[in-house]
């Protein structure tokens, strides 16, 4: 899975946000991301599986596998729900 084209990631007032720039996306939508969300967002610039995202979290953060898996599943679900990844 991979992010759809048409988003830029920005830091605004100390927060990380993804903003749509083109296409059939709602140009008024702005997605606020925490540190982990921004990390996963960057990984999703390339075609990766959920398992690869879990492994990336485990390598980057001091987190157990169950927590990493729950976080990835919830994040991916939200992105799919909003049509941001395919």
Question: Is residue 23 situated within a structural domain?
Answer: yes
pTM here? 0.83
Question: Is residue 16 situated within a structural domain?
Answer: yes
Question: Is residue 2 situated within a structural domain?
Answer: no
Domain around 77: 7-81
* CA–CA separation, 62 and 65 (whole Å): 10
pLDDT tens track for 25-66: 554 667 889 999 999 999 999 999 999 999 999 999 999 999
Question: Is residue 14 situated within a structural domain?
Answer: yes
Question: Looking at the 3D structure of the chain, how many domains does it have?
Answer: 1
Which residues, other chains included, contact 57 with Cβ-Cβ below 8 Å and sequence gap of 6+? 36, 39, 40, 63, 68, 71, 72
């Amino acid at each position: 899975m991979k992010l759809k084209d048409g988003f830029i990631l920005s830091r605004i007032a100390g927060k990380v946000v993804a903003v749509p720039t083109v296409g059939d996306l709602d140009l008024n939508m702005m997605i606020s991301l925490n540190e982990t969300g921004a990390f996963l967002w960057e990984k999703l610039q390339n075609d990766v599986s959920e398992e690869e995202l879990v492994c990336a979290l485990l390598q980057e953060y001091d987190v157990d596998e169950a927590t990493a898996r729950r976080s990835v599943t919830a994040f991916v679900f939200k992105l799919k729900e909003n049509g941001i990844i395919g």
